[in-house]
Structure 1
Amino acid sequence: MFLESAPFINQQMLLTWEKSSFSSLMVVIVVKLLRAQTMDAFMSDVFMFSKTVIVFLCYIVDMRLFSWYMILFTVLFLLLSQPFYDGPENIMYFTPPAFDDHVRAADPSVRWLVEFYVTWSPSCVHLEPIISELSLKYSSEKLQFGKMDLGRWPLMAKELNVSMKGTSPQLPTLIMFEGGKEICRIPHVFSDGSVAKGRYRKRDLIRGFDLDNATYKGKTTTVEKKNEKTKTSAKKTK
């Protein structure tokens, strides 16, 4: 691939680098496939590591080629970010006042599973299809789903003890509320401030929040039409 672009580099050495790089890439892809939480996350990792290998080989071949590739990569990264899921769901999008009215003032018999996310986090983007699917399957009179964009409401992140740093393992955070009180969250935060590794595969969320519990079963509900404006406004910020 890169051999014809590098007339001044030892061809055998470059061929060795290519073989080693792409062999390593294949190993990483297999490992990521086995550990992938969603197919979106897996494909994102495949593209990221593939581009990393290309950057490395461009650096070996020619600094000019490397520079142009980095410029192109930066432009594409800024202009063509991965879109948010825009399919069917049964989720209410919250502002802080709406969160207080619907979650904190909720009837003790009603539980809310709320996702706290930011639009710039790949992990949050990858989780969107799973949360939407769960909301369609499990929403009922006893269990409802919501979302809040912490990028728009950073004070809520501080209030709920959710770190919004770029390397934070708390994005996204899913919290189960009952009667307005938090009863569990993923990822779990220990008393010393350390954060457990979050598992966001569908089966992990079902088990972690006990979504198959018979006490949640009831008449299926849908998000009220009066909240459609809130949902639309929230999606415009993505």
Structure 2
Amino acid sequence: MALLTTFFAFLYHLPRVYKWLLKPYYVASLILSVAFLMVRKTPGICEHLASQREDGNSCDFDWREVEILMFLSAIVMMKNRRAITVEQHVGNIFLFSKVANVILFFRLDIRMGLLYLTMCIVFLMTCKPPLYMGPEYIKYFSDKTIEEELERDSRVTWIVEFFANWSPECQSFASVYADLSLKYNCAGLKFGKVDVGRYGEVANKYKVSTSPLTKQLPTLALFQGGKELMRRPQIDKKGRAVSWTFSEENIIREFNLNELYQKSKKLSKNKGEKPAEDQLPTVLEKDETEAEPEVQEEESESKKDK
């Protein structure tokens, strides 16, 4: 079932996939992912390779190589069950294909393995995934502006993403977060982002770990009146992030975006009037009390403020 879902998602987004593959990062990733296949199947090269096949055909996979490739397929299917965007699906395929290629090349010849591993390291150091450049209504904070903006008016509700450009999870989530900002941004409900990989002081202040092994990136937090009311993923008593899927549906449900947006939208229409207490947007987190802040009546945020 997971394989069929991945296949149909790939077909649906095929035009976008073509555009991605034309970018240098994806072209290089694709070449590295199929490197062993090309070496094993290219006439003039494969004849000189070692093989454990009984028929001695060095231009075809032996039983151990087939076993490694089948294991790769199983790993990719398991990882893609939790992928929420096509970028994540494609990224998982490229990542684990490179890992499999390292194993296959080292098994074939240690010199080829070292050469391929060196190429992968150079690729990681010189090539970065292309950043999302589509439409969005998101304000980008710095270490000097985030606190001031969140506390500027107690009637404004903010959803802030703490991210790092080097994190693949953050890069994959960028398009999802942008879509949410386009759907739900209004005068009383705004979306922001801050790069904690760049601003370490912000990461420390809001207790977001930026370790390469952390599961706290990205982190979404909801602020009302400058105070944090909830965040995802949650942190357990041992300081570890609780596993959580950053899908659009999960975010809408957990952050109560539909109700929050509707009440914020109503308030934005009544300019010059003080909102009644029963009109204020509410955010209710599980096992917590309700918070009823007022919403500022101002114009919508500009697309980006860097």
**Residue pairs, 1:103-142, within 5 angstroms:** 103-107=150-154, 109-142=155-188
Query: SS of the residue aligned with 2:193?
Result: strand
Instruction: For residue 81 of structure 2, give the secondary structure of its aligned residue in structure 1.
Output: helix
> Which residue of the other structure, out of 105, 126, 139, is the alignment partner of 1:58?
105
Matches for 1:85-164 after TM superposition, within 5 Å: 85-107=132-154, 109-164=155-210
Instruction: Please state how far the C-alpha of 1:98 moved relative to its aligned partner.
Output: 1.8
Between the aligned partners of 1:224 and 1:16, the Cα distance in structure 2 is 58
Which range is displaced more, 75-84 or 4-13?
4-13
| Shift, 1:88, TM fit | 0.6
1:22-61: CA deviation from partner (whole Å, max 9, x where unpaired) = 1112222222332212221121111001111111110111
Instruction: Tell me the amino acid that sits aligned with residue 171 of structure 2.
Output: V
5 Å-filtered alignment, 1:1-238, equals 1=37, 2=40, 4=46, 7-12=49-54, 15-107=62-154, 109-213=155-259, 214-218=262-266, 222-224=300-302, 230-231=305-306
Given that residues 161 and 221 in structure 2 are in contact (C-alpha distance below 8 angstroms), is that contact kept between their aligned partners in structure 1? yes
Cα separation, 2, equivalents of 1:158 and 1:9 = 54
| Deviations 1:47-106, CA, capped at 9 Å, x for gaps | 001111111110111111111111111112222211110111000011233212221233
SS at structure 1 position matched to 2:228:
strand
Distance verdict in 2 for CA 1:118–1:5, change over 3 Å: farther
CA distance in 1, matches of 2:85, 2:244: 13
Give the stretch that moved more between structures: 97-106 or 79-88: 97-106
Q: How large is the RMSD of aligned CA atoms in angstroms? A: 2.2
- The runs of 5 or more residues in structure 1 that have no matched partner are 232-238
> Larger radius of gyration, structure 1 or 2?
2
CA contact (8 A) 2:137 2:302 kept: no
Comparing 70-79 and 40-49, the one that deviates more: 70-79
Query: Residues 104 and 190 of structure 1: is their aligned pair in 2 closer, same or farther, counting only changes over 3 Å?
Result: farther
Closer/same/farther in 2, CA of residues 8 and 100 from structure 1, 3 Å limit: closer
TM-score, structure 2 as length reference: 0.69
Q: What residue identity is the alignment partner of 1:119?
A: N
Q: Compared with structure 1, are the counterparts of its residues 145 and 21 closer, same or farther at alpha carbon in structure 2 (3 Å cutoff)?
A: same
Which moves more between the two structures, 62-71 or 9-18? Answer: 9-18
What's the TM-score, normalizing by structure 1?
0.87
Tell me how far 1:5 sits from its aligned partner.
5.9
Distance in 2 between the 1:72 and 1:215 partners?
Answer: 54
Q: Is the 8 A contact 1:157 1:163 kept in 2?
A: yes
State the secondary structure of the residue aligned to 1:97: coil
For 2:192, the aligned partner's letter is G
Q: Give the secondary structure class of the aligned counterpart of 1:116.
A: strand
Partner AA of 1:174 in structure 2: L
Closer/same/farther in 2, CA of residues 157 and 33 from structure 1, 3 Å limit? same
Moved more, 210-219 or 6-15: 6-15
> Contact between 1:5 and 1:61, CA under 8 Å: does it hold in 2?
no
Structure-2 separation of matches of 1:179 and 1:159? 17
Unmatched tracts of structure 2, length 5 or more:
1-36, 269-297
Shift of 1:202: 1.2
Q: Which has the higher contact order (CA 8 A, sep 6+)?
A: 1
2:51, 2:62 within 8 Å by CA — same for their partners in 1? no
The question of whether the paired residues in 1 share the 8 Å contact of 2:80 and 2:88 is answered with no
Contact 2:187–2:300 (Cα < 8 Å) also in 1:
no
